[in-house]
């Protein structure tokens, strides 16, 4: 005769049974929130996205030029793809054109930003179109620009995200690339989180920021846009303090952003300084460097998407649209916003250049910055070997510093000789 099962269970045993059942059946997770996975039907992998961009360049060599820049530091290796657009590639060095430098994917988890870079490139070369923009007007605007684009600044961090660490924003060795620049570097707020904001051991300690700084030095952009996700915003400097620059040019730039917000964000976007609008101060950011040190007239941070309803642990959902309708809406709205910004900025830059002649002294950078940026650009363009480049930079630095030292010594000797001669003349005069 079989034993009858006793259904009178204690509360502790009942809870244990329920938890075990939930784990086996996968219906409930009592210890961690659900996490939205990467939608592989919408998002390219980093490799396939780069292949798409390479194919675009191959199909349109008259307008696009691609270079892959490598760098390493203490065994940490980085490769960064840079795509340059010009309607006539023979005019790529035409200094009369306005120059735009765009960076996408600086934080690994913000996949949607690199998808936007691919969409913008496709529109630039005419494989996709903006529905509400006149093609002839767009062509006239683009005729005045050279656009240099970094589709995925933080490739190593992106690889970590694709491997399953969906909340990783830092680079491949744990440094936040948007805290590794020199303006107000290293300052930590009370809510500082090293996982989110590790600034590195020094400004420009990371190969990624070194490459971006060299691009800035060699290219000398008039417009810089650092593209992120996490909210919807059109930010101008500053990130490290709760203020925007003073003066008429800054007021005109803010008005331009407010027009973009009205036309393309439907007034959803926050407009103003990052430090005054995002809810916290950020130190050592790329945009503050571009404005304060590199003297880029228009330096922006665009935040193109954010889902504040999701859990802070559900990073893919927070930073990236996961359904087709929202995904296409973000790409359509923000590609239109970029081309509207190009159109508006030509007028603003014309006004700025007609009123202000920037002295050359204001554009001075360090000798190392200049040589690194200039020679890297020439190396990438003409295909010289990296070893030759590094040796050449070392030689030039050495000779330049010797020249400066000898010039100072000669000037000192000359001044000393003049002073001594005067003393002799004065002492030989009769009283």
Sign of CA dihedral 283, 147, 269, 36: negative
Q: Which residues pair with 299 in a beta bridge?
A: 224
pLDDT, tens only, 219-262? 999 999 999 999 999 999 999 999 999 999 999 999 999 999 99
| DSSP letter for each residue of 318-360 | HHS--SHHHHHHHHHHHHHHHHHHHHHHHHHHHHHHHH----G
Sign of CA dihedral 42, 131, 110, 190: negative
Whether the pLDDT of residue 357 is over 90: the answer is no
What's residue 87's pLDDT?
92
Q: Which two tokens stand for residue 242?
A: 């709760």
Percent of the chain with pLDDT over 90: 64
CA distance 186 to 195: 14
| DSSP letter for each residue of 260-329 | HHHHHSTT-SEEEEHHHHSSS---S-HHHHHHHTS--SEEEEEEEE--TTS-TT-HHHHHS--SHHHHHH
pLDDT, tens only, 377-414? 444 444 444 434 444 555 565 556 667 777 877 887 77
Q: Which two tokens stand for residue 46?
A: 């980093």
Chain-centroid distance of CA 17 in Å reads 51
- Kindly report whether the global pTM for this prediction surpasses the value 0.85: no
What's residue 353's pLDDT?
75
Chain-centroid distance of CA 348 in Å reads 22
What's residue 18's pLDDT?
40
Across the chain, mean pLDDT equals 83
Q: Which two tokens stand for residue 314?
A: 């559900």
46-376 topology per CATH: Aminopeptidase (3.40.630)
pLDDT, tens only, 149-176? 999 999 999 999 999 999 999 999 999 9
Q: Which two tokens stand for residue 84?
A: 């340059």
Confidence band (pLDDT; 50, 70, 90) for 281?
A: very high
The closest of 318, 349, 362, 372 to 196, measured between CA atoms, is: 318
pLDDT, tens only, 18-69? 444 333 344 333 334 468 999 999 999 999 999 999 999 999 999 999 999 9
Report the catalytic residues. Answer: 303
């Amino acid at each position: 005769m079989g034993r009858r099962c006793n259904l009178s269970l204690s509360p502790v045993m009942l809870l244990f049974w329920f938890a075990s059942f939930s784990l086996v059946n996968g219906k409930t997770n009592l210890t961690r929130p659900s996490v939205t996975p990467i939608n592989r039907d919408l998002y390219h992998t980093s490799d396939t996205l780069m292949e798409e961009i390479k194919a675009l360049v191959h199909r349109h060599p008259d307008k696009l030029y691609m270079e892959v820049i490598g760098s390493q530091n203490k065994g940490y290796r980085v490769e960064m793809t840079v795509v340059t657009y010009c309607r006539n590639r023979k005019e790529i060095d035409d200094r009369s054109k306005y120059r735009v430098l765009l960076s996408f994917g600086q934080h690994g988890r913000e996949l949607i930003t690199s998808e936007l870079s691919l969409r913008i490139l496709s529109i630039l070369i005419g494989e996709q179109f903006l529905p509400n923009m006149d093609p002839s007007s767009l062509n006239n605007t683009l005729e005045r620009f050279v656009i240099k684009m970094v589709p995925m600044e933080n490739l190593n961090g992106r690889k970590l995200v694709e491997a399953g660490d969906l909340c990783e924003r830092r680079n491949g060795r744990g440094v936040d690339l948007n805290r590794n620049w020199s303006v107000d570097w290293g300052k930590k707020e009370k809510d500082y989180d090293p996982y989110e904001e590790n600034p590195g051991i020094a400004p420009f300690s990371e190969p990624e920021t070194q490459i971006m700084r060299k691009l800035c030095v060699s290219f000398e952009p008039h417009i810089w846009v650092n593209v992120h996700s996490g909210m919807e915003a059109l930010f101008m400097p500053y990130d490290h303090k709760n203020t925007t620059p003073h003066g008429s040019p800054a007021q005109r730039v803010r008005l331009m952003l407010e027009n973009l917000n009205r036309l393309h964000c439907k007034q959803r976007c926050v407009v103003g300084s990052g430090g005054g609008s995002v809810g916290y101060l950020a130190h050592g950011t790329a945009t503050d460097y571009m404005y304060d040190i590199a003297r880029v007239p228009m330096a922006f941070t665009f935040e193109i998407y954010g889902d504040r309803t999701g859990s802070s642990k559900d990073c893919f959902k927070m930073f990236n649209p996961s359904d087709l309708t929202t995904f296409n809406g973000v790409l359509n709205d923000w590609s239109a916003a970029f081309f509207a910004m190009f159109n508006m900025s030509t007028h603003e830059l014309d006004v700025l250049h007609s009123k202000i002649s920037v002295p050359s002294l204001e554009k001075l950078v360090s000798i190392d910055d200049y040589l690194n940026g200039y020679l890297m650009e020439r190396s990438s363009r003409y295909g010289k070997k990296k070893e030759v480049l590094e040796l050449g930079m070392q030689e030039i630095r050495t000779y330049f510093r010797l020249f400066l030292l000898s010039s100072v010594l000669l000037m000192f000797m000359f001044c000393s000789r003049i002073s001594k001669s005067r003393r002799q003349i004065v002492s030989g005069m009769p009283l």
